[in-house]
Structure 1
Amino acid sequence: MNIAFWERLGRKRATTLHATPLLRWLAWLVLAALLGGCADAPYYAQSVRGHWALMSAARPIDDWLQRPDASDALRQRLTLVQSIRHFAATDLHLPDNVSYTRYADLQRRYAVWNVVAAPADSLTLKTWCFPVAGCVGYRGYFDKTQALALAATLRAQGLEVSVYGVPAYSTLGWSNWLGGDPMLNTFVNYPDGELARLMFHELAHQVVYASDDTAFNESFATAVERLGGALWLARQATPQARQAFGVFDQRRRQFRALTRSTRASLIRVYKENKPLALINKVQVAMKKKVMADFRADYATLKDSWDGYSGYDAWVAEANNAAFAAQAAYDEWVPAFEALFDQQGRDWRRFYDAVGQLARQPAPERKRNLLALCNGPVLCNPPL
């Protein structure tokens, strides 16, 4: 079973199932049953319940704009969402479908909580495999308590674990027949530039998706969000929004440069000590020094940020799992940006070229990505 199957099913059944809640629910049960052969039933049950609750809470944005109990602030944000959605389809040639045409207030800060894990001597994420998404380096929960329970189990196995909230996720287009991915309260109030970028990122997942390659998928979506976000800021944003985003983005780039250099240092430590046992005191000492240097460098960097503390929590809990998860989102971005230039900065040609990469065997795809970014130094891909 693959994503294309569900997209075809959605297109075929949209007219007959869209207005029938019972059939919708049965469809989700069928999906859970098909997926259930790959993992435990309770996990898929919470996935179905959680996503069903999210989808059921969503209402058309046009309806929200007419609601007397909707605040002026919410109306302004939803109007901006509609404008960004139009820009995504017309200027970036992202899918023009029902995604982000509805809104839901989940009454919580995050849509889901992801759990990631890695060995104490490696930046290679533990993976979980699913028939639709393939193998991915995370496991998501709608209930934070369940995410923390899994984290405790993984720590007991000797793994380093990170649990983090996720404001939005993509169903890769296969839920469009159910109304599509909705706008959520978890990110509707993001600064204008960040809101646009996140929408572009999630919509990009509907364009190209390579099974079993989280780094490829997330780096591609990040490249689209960066390139598309820059275009949106230049053409649509107010001067105030551009200025605010510039400050925020500079800090983000500085922080990611620091985490990239730290990842490279950790990889060197683990490679140099690979023949030795994990209990090797030299490796442990080297790792501690890398982490101490990271936190010291962050403190120095933060001093120039006028009191901004947005990365404090991440730094306080940083470990192999956190570094590895972050790597998936940006390590191939230079390759995709180079490919965009190579395709004449034409979005359709770019998507076609990325689709060709996605269809290649993983080793060939990695070689071609490395060639695009002139070798491993620039891209520093996850090992």
Structure 2
Amino acid sequence: MAAGSGPAPPAEAQPPPPIHHLPPDALHNVLLRLQLRDAVVCRPVSRLFHETLSPQLLALLPSLRLLLLRHPRPDGGGCLHAFDPARRTWLRLPFAHFLPYHSFSPVASSTSLLYLWVETSSSTSPLALPPSTSSASSASPVHPPKSLAVCNPFAGTYRLLPQLGSAWARHGTVLAGPAGTVLVLTELAALSYTPSGSAKWMKHPLSLPSKPRSPILASDAVFALCDVGTPWRSQWKLFSCPLAMLTGGWAPVERAAWGDVFEVLKRPRLLAGAGGRRVLMIGGLRSSFAMDAPCSTVLILRLDLATMEWEEAGRMPPNMYRCFTGLCEAASQGGAIPAAAAGGNNKVKVFGGDGKVWFAGKRVRGKLAMWEEDEMGSSGKWDWVDGLPGYGDGVYRGFVFDGGFTAIP
């Protein structure tokens, strides 16, 4: 210390940072330019930021559209990986600070809300189903008890929904609709839950010819594919049901002008198109109508729900599809081409929603293929997504999540 210099002034005597002198309107204007995730990270920085970034202000920020990856394993390790297509970056969404369950798996989302299966102890007893439905929920080491939870990872809040039987958790497909509406579909029945209703699950029998494949919500209705063929050859047909008529409202969606549109694709899957006004059907493009015909690429067909007409929306480029068949890997290693790869019949996992489709495969390591629907309705854009975070096992799946800072209904 230099001669004559006194002790440093106490911390409380230090002048406040310059940002404290900004008028409240100016500070709000600055913070409202942040993305939602950045704003949430800034909240604990100081008392000023915590008070300014109130829930009311955070609710004004635009939602953050993400691809949320599901765990190949039930244990997520306290966080989930998500991809931000706008910034082309991977994010980690933590859950351990607000979700008291160590094992969870995301299954569906609606605006700002995320739905997860969580493993609960036998002491957890949320509102239960009637005995006729909840009798299958006996806990065992093989199938531990699970409950469906709704949460907001940005607000750090969650709530358990009325409990379901273990069979629903193992075999049901969860769909999330507007205003907190939730559907769980199995081969024989569907359950519906609405927070503003009776606050319990309602059971609806399914009058479908087979188990619904890849059901989706679009234009206030449920759409699903059903196999109406034989054990030797699949034959797919589109069915739909209005949300307001889950009991007895299922009917085939067909037009004579469609011809053999469902015979073109192998292993078709449905996804919602942009804005909920279109339905996407994705599958392998058959090289012929023979039962064992190989696939030449992945084809995306689009159904306009206003005109009820199909059109081709996208076709995976040959160079990209070869990576999924193993041809690129075999060529780089100088080895022989596998017979399955040469036939082009390798499975490609398809997931996404709202006009965005991602593709994963065992032979494509560390990256995903991505297709984005064009806003004008023309052919979409194909690209690779690199830097895929690794869980160490399994093929990736996921869905679109529009994260926002809103309350849980």
Bigger radius of gyration among the two: 2
TM-score by length of 2: 0.22
Kindly indicate which of the two structures has a greater share of residues assigned to strand: 2
Structure number with the bigger relative contact order (C-alpha 8 A, sep ≥ 6) is 1
